Amino acid sequence: RMKSAAAPIRDVLKDLHTRLVANYEGRIADYIPELATASPDSFGIALCTTDGQVVEYGDYKTSFTIQSVSKPFMFGLAIGDHGLDHVLSKVGVEPTGEAFNSIVLDEVSNRPYNPMVNSGAIATADLVKGKDYPERVKRMLEMFSRYCGREVFVDNTVFMSERMTGHRNRAMAHLMRNFDMMSEKFEEALELYFQQCSILVNAHDLSVMGATLANGGLNPLTKIRAIESENVKYLLSIMMSCGMYDYAGEWAFRVGIPAKSGVAGGIVAVVPGVLGIGLYSPLLDIKGNSVRGVKACQELSQKFSLHAFESS
């Protein structure tokens, strides 16, 4: 397990960065024009330990939208608001083996398969409490701000673009409403989902968010609680089984670290009790995961024996 001082670790990150930044495999997401403007050169790596040490290299301050990396955190907010049983009556915890935008629901229960696919994330957003829509947005933003240790904001252009083009997500919400899996406020939930996807973060933020989960829900930099400690395990287990789209099984096998990726190129990974990893590089592989981010996690996992089922 990782115990060395910061300087040698920075050298490890530098070496990793230098080798992987030369890799231009993959494609930048272009389903909305705002994402397509990301630079293929961008690559940031950040580590934050549970005792609050931060080591980072490259473009760790470059901001991008959080996108699907937001999903486990929203799942945590919903569990905090309603308790696990109610949340699980609206969304399952079973991997799909299908793409993140798959429209399939569980045939028996009519639930979306899990909160990491879009349908499940939209059903999860429906569960976020608040007396009106502004209060729900505020509670969502405050939750992400507690994880990041700073106030976060929505990129309004991305948000507008997501909501203008999100017909498939809208169709899923209607389907789930048809099956009574979403409330009469399902259109509000869609808005909330588009907003959560459009929050601006950087690799540093993702490492702090990961470190907060690694630290039982307490942000190691601000000492502010982001989530009840008894609920952290639910986020981590769903990240382990479903966090990397339809690569999740192989990821759990090879890397063995709970993680979540997003279509803008971010990845958050969590080594419980040890550290959080934040990565950013917008070139995506065919499954939608950051090419450099996946490779960096694989190498870090091997080098520091971070796999959950490592014997030693």
SS3 44: strand
Closest to ligand GLN by CB, 285 vs 304, is 285
**Contact with ligand GLN (CB under 6 A) among 255, 288, 290, 291:** 288
Closest to ligand GLN by CB, 101 vs 298, is 101
Minimum CB distance to ligand GLN, residue 38 (Å):
13
**Contact with ligand GLN (CB under 6 A) among 105, 172, 235, 263:** 263
Minimum CB distance to ligand GLN, residue 263 (Å):
3
Closest to ligand GLN by CB, 57 vs 100, is 100
Determine the Cα–Cα distance for residues 116 and 101; give it in Å rounded to an integer: 10
Determine the Cα–Cα distance for residues 259 and 114; give it in Å rounded to an integer: 15
Given a contact cutoff of 8 angstroms between Cβ atoms, the answer to whether 263 and 281 are in contact is: no
Binding flag, residue 265, ligand GLN (CB under 6 A): no
Closest to ligand GLN by CB, 50 vs 68, is 68
H helices of the chain, in order, are 6-20, 33-36, 71-82, 84-90, 118-125, 133-148, 156-165, 167-178, 186-197, 203-214, 229-242, 248-254, 291-303
Site string for ligand GLN, 164-183 (x = CB under 6 A): -----x--------------
Binding flag, residue 162, ligand GLN (CB under 6 A): yes
- Write out the binding residues: 68, 118, 162, 169, 193, 245, 263
3-state helix, strand, coil in the chain (%, to 5): 50, 15, 40
Binding flag, residue 231, ligand GLN (CB under 6 A): no
Closest to ligand GLN by CB, 13 vs 182, is 182
Binding flag, residue 67, ligand GLN (CB under 6 A): yes
Minimum CB distance to ligand GLN, residue 309 (Å):
27
Binding flag, residue 197, ligand GLN (CB under 6 A): yes
Binding flag, residue 118, ligand GLN (CB under 6 A): yes
Distance set, CA 174 to CA 90, 96, 183 (Å): 14, 20, 10
Binding flag, residue 205, ligand GLN (CB under 6 A): no
CA atoms in the 13 A half-sphere facing the CB of 208 = 24
Binding flag, residue 215, ligand GLN (CB under 6 A): no
Determine the Cα–Cα distance for residues 213 and 225; give it in Å rounded to an integer: 10
- Write out the binding residues for substrate: 68, 118, 162, 169, 193, 245, 263
Cα–Cα nearest to 147, from 93, 57, 214: 214
Given a contact cutoff of 8 angstroms between Cβ atoms, the answer to whether 221 and 149 are in contact is: yes
Determine the Cα–Cα distance for residues 216 and 225; give it in Å rounded to an integer: 9
Binding flag, residue 68, ligand GLN (CB under 6 A): yes
- Token match 């045939």: residue? 107
Which positions lie near ligand GLN, rule CB under 6 A? 67-68, 100-101, 118, 162, 169, 197, 262-263, 288
